Amino acid sequence: MSRASLETAIPPATPIVLDTSVVLAYLNGNEAVSPAASIVVDDFVRTARNEATISALTVTETLVRPFNVGARELATAEAFLMHFPGLQVEDIDYSIAREAGRLRASTGLSTPDAIIIATASAREIPIVVANDEHWAKAVAAEPSLVLCHLDAHVPI
């Protein structure tokens, strides 16, 4: 695949939700999908080509390893989460929690996955960027959402 395939999957000026898997691939830099995650984060989000939202749940999931590893890694992760241009954190309010409950009931997704998809659905953000294969069925249940699966764009 190529960078062009990501550009087609994520049109300019279209808001996106980033799953934790994308954030971790970007920050770790050593996963097979890390180059694709870097294109999305550095070339699309940082440049304001696409606004990105992450769930507050992604903050929790992203900080687990840095808390275990040390202060430098924690500072790097927190700087990214709190100050990265074009990236905003969405709190989990009642409408997102309710939608996550509906998604869990209809698809069997785990609570964390349902919350991230519900964040996109409740905020009318049309594209979810992820690297979880089991999401395809859940996103298909939400006709207003499109899944951009990073694995489909590897190698870059």
Q: Which fold has domain 3-153?
A: Rossmann fold (3.40.50)
- Pick from 16, 1, 3: which is nearest to 130 by CA? 16
Mean pLDDT by 10 residues, the chain (156 residues): 88 98 96 96 98 98 97 97 98 97 92 95 96 77 87 87
Cα 95 to Cα 56, 118, 143: the distances in Å are 14, 9, 18
| Per-domain boundaries in the chain | 3-153
Give every CB contact of residue 8 below 8 A, 6+ residues apart in sequence: none
In this prediction the pTM is 0.95
pLDDT value at position 61? 97
Predicted pLDDT of residue 56: 98
Question: So what's the pLDDT on residue 1?
Answer: 60
